[in-house]
Chain A
Amino acid sequence: MPQLIKHNAVSGDSWLTLALNEGETADSVALPAGDVIFPLAVWQARKTEIISCHKRIGLLLQPDNRVEDVAGDLDYFIVIAVNFPKFVDGRGYSTASLLRQRYHYQGELRAVGDVLHDQLFFMKRVGFDSFALKDGKNAEYAIDLAFTVFGDAYQGATTQPQPAFRRRA
């Protein structure tokens, strides 16, 4: 199981991510009860149904899902999980930047998938605030070091929109 890091601590996780088994489609899959993170296709196909039976709704975005396609729905989500199938696939950083900076998404933004120590600093800067650290990695060490590896940054990003040159004395 991945370890969820939130607010600088390992945190419990009430959320279940709905995965489609073989033969299931977004239209046919049974919607489980509880706190569920729905893949974008399921959300798009079953939006009314999901809203009617879930108070707390999560969304899962894959690297090739376009934020623009769900921009009008962001108020429904308590959590949006952005998947990194491989940590070298950097599309999720743009997804997060767009969600936070352009569409002003305020809920939990969770990095899931191949989430590793050395990417956490970048992930935090683009706006992730929870991190499903890959199974087997040292969460305590990551909490101690990974988010503060650099004490400043040149560019503007979600957590500090002002670039260093606007803050330099």
Chain B
Amino acid sequence: MYKYDAIDRQLINERVAQFRDQVRRWKAGELTDDEFRPLRLQNGLYIQRHAPMFRIAVPYGMMNAAQIRTLAHVARKYDRGYGHFTTRHNLQLNWPKIEDVPEILAELAEVEMHAIQTSGNCLRNITTDQFAGVASDEIIDPRPLAEIMRQWTTFHPEFAFLPRKFKIAISGTQEDRAVTWFHDIGLHLKQEDGQVGFTVIVGGGLGRTPIRGEVIRDFLPWQDILSYCEAILRVYNRYGRRDNAYKARIKILVQALGIEAFREQVEAEWAHGKGGPMTITQAEYDRVATHFTAPAYESVGAVELPADKAFQRWLERNTHAHKVAGYRAVTLSLKQHGIAPGDITSAQMEAVADLADQYSFGELRISHEQNIILADVKESDLHAIWQKAVAAKLATPNIGLLTGIICCPGGDFCDLANAKSIPIANAIQQRFDDLDYLFDIGEIDLNISGCMNACGHHHVGHIGVLGVDKNNDEFYQVTLGGRQGNDAKLGKVIGPSFSAQEMPDVVEKIIKVYLENRHADERFLDTFDRIGIDPFKNRVYEGRAHGKAKTAQKEAA
């Protein structure tokens, strides 16, 4: 894992001092609320429904045991003893005091963590694949370049006040696990004629106007990524819309100009920066890459694992292929039924730290699916780690299954939300609490967002649920057929929205249609692609009053 050098340490400490002074000036009335807002946002502080929400960065998802212990401590000392992992490699605290945040930042800085640019209209945390470095389908480990890019984004003087937020994701594997098609810039590492580089995708995004990104450059040598991104950002900073926040993301600019014209502008801009000082040097790549070398794997033979059904289920769902024989990557599920998806208590964080120390070289990752991954676990340790994970309630075997829901904090916490999302997730988990049934249903992504900002990635859920507001009542719109990965696409809206009470039934009906129609070995998505949306639509709205009948029903009530 990357270790700070003198420059990194100096900058992070100076950031703590800067924010301490900003909070002091705000309290003293020297900064107005409007002047303070972007400053606190760029330190991860939102004002939310109940309290400020504070977002701590976990750059490209990597953490060590000391860091998650510090998160546990911070959540306990300054908050209510738990935190929430988001879909973009951050930990959110829901109840800290603004006045405490400088102290929290100082404690985080001790373990090389921060909240820099975790919100606001700036370059955000860079995300990648949770199996980086260990995935069996990896082409190139994205982490050294992700770290180099993290440094480049940090306090970039020209791009601190963009039209809107700006998110970058990098994938280094055959199968994209970083949702790169739906980021402002998505990067696919690849090799061409022996040269390493990126396919550069631009203008994707979920949110209010979901758009799949477009390829702006099929191959860009890795050395040029910073100068090329600067060209994209300069064009965006100058010409992105600033008159309407809903139309300010780069995707709107790319759509307005068309990808060809946008590309021309970027390439014309890049002609000036290409080959300049921002060209990454081999020396820098090597310096950073030494922090991401493989740990000291043992050569281990095949092991016989217990046949215990519960353990086998966990093995099937929560462990993943590793490029080194005798090792697996383990997902610790933060999708325990009845708990807000992505939530984790301080005690659980400490349990994770212990597991990482004992079984996975003291390191861990978080995924955009809001789970924790121990990337380097010996197969012979799997049973022991499972038992401890069960004890810590981190072993729900639902990774990739219906109840492994991606979910935003929603209306319970978030000021932007139109509707609650956590109770919907919990109600669906309760309905599908039978593990035999869950396993029979098989692989399916159910994603829930409490509003069209789409923090719960509902557009790319096989089943997507979006909270909407209708005359001050909370309703839920359902989409089907969305997906992440190389063939990422947006789900289709099934029809009029549903009340919260209807949602478990709606999901159950959708599942029934799948089960009745599936061929052997077909996953939900395969069946959906074969039979289309209509059978689902017909079942879900069967017998449901609509149009005049609905109005009459309402009036009668």
Query: Residues on A close to B: CB < 8 A?
Result: 87-91, 93-94, 97, 102, 116-119, 121-123, 125-126, 137-138, 145, 149-157, 161-166, 168
Chain B residues with Cβ below 8 Å from A145 are 21
A160 → chain B closest CB, angstroms: 9
Contact flag A118-B281 (CB < 8 Å), given A138-B30, A152-B7, A164-B7:
no
Chain B residues with Cβ below 8 Å from A137 are 30
B161 pairs with A125, CB closer than 8 A: no
Stretch at the interface among B89-97, B234-242, B353-361, B529-537: B234-242
Contacts A145-B21, A153-B155 known; 16 new A-B pairs at CB < 8 A: A89-B161, A90-B162, A97-B158, A117-B25, A118-B22, A118-B35, A151-B10, A152-B11, A154-B155, A157-B158, A161-B276, A165-B151, A165-B280, A165-B281, A168-B7, A168-B284
Interface of A is mostly: loop
Chain B residues with Cβ below 8 Å from A123 are 157
Contact sample, A vs B, 23 pairs, CB 8 Å cutoff: A88-B161, A90-B161, A93-B158, A93-B159, A93-B160, A93-B161, A118-B31, A126-B158, A150-B14, A150-B15, A150-B155, A154-B7, A154-B11, A154-B154, A155-B156, A155-B226, A156-B277, A163-B226, A163-B277, A164-B151, A165-B284, A166-B277, A168-B284
Contact flag A155-B14 (CB < 8 Å), given A89-B242, A94-B234:
no
A112 → chain B closest CB, angstroms: 16
Q: Which residue of A lies closest to B277 (CB)?
A: A156
Whole-angstrom distance between the alpha carbons of A97 and B11 in the complex?
A: 22
Chain A residues with Cβ below 8 Å from B237 are 90-91, 93-94
Interface of B is mostly: helix
A74 → chain B closest CB, angstroms: 16
Whole-angstrom distance between the alpha carbons of A162 and B280 in the complex?
A: 11
A126 pairs with B157, CB closer than 8 A: yes
Whole-angstrom distance between the alpha carbons of A88 and B155 in the complex?
A: 15
Q: Which residue of B lies closest to A153 (CB)?
A: B155
A121 → chain B closest CB, angstroms: 8
Chain B residues with Cβ below 8 Å from A125 are 157
A154 pairs with B151, CB closer than 8 A: yes
One of B5, B22, B121, B280 near A168 (C-beta < 8 A): B5
Q: Which of B1-52 contact A (CB under 8 A)?
A: 5, 7, 10-11, 14-15, 17-18, 21-22, 25, 30-31, 35, 38-39
